[in-house]
């Protein structure tokens, strides 16, 4: 199985899909605890679900995953604080994207 086919821990371009999957799982856990009334939480949940579907696709594409990470990053900035643990996720997204 090639990286393009989504082998566990494989990278797509320079993105480590295993690392992205762990990030998505961690964010899903955090969001499960978040109040749905908190501003921006619904948008962040939607972006995380979109990213999850991208990385679980049979042929994840580097630019789609990178765009999905960027969308999650932007949505997470709107709910900074308890939900995104003081920027931990923003930092990890930046590292994955090479920022």
Would you state the pLDDT for residue 13?
A: 57
Per-residue pLDDT band for 86 (boundaries 50, 70, 90) equals: low
Convert 48-94 into a string of H (helix), E (strand) and C (coil).
HHHHHHHHHCCCCCHHHHHHHHHHHHHHHHHCCCCCCHHHHHHHHHH
Would you state the pLDDT for residue 82?
A: 65
Q: pLDDT tens digits for 5-58?
A: 444 444 445 788 999 999 999 999 989 988 878 888 999 999 999 999 999 999
Would you state the pLDDT for residue 6?
A: 41
């Amino acid at each position: 199985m090639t990286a393009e086919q989504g082998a566990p821990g494989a990278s797509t371009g320079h993105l480590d899909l295993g690392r992205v999957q762990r990030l998505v799982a961690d964010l899903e856990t955090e969001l499960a605890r978040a109040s749905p009334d908190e501003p921006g939480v619904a948008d962040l949940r939607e972006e995380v679900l979109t990213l999850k579907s991208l990385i679980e696709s049979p042929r994840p594409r580097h630019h789609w995953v990178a765009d999905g990470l960027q969308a999650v990053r932007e949505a997470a900035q709107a709910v900074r604080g308890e939900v995104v643990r003081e920027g931990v996720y923003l930092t990890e997204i930046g590292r994955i994207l090479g920022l």
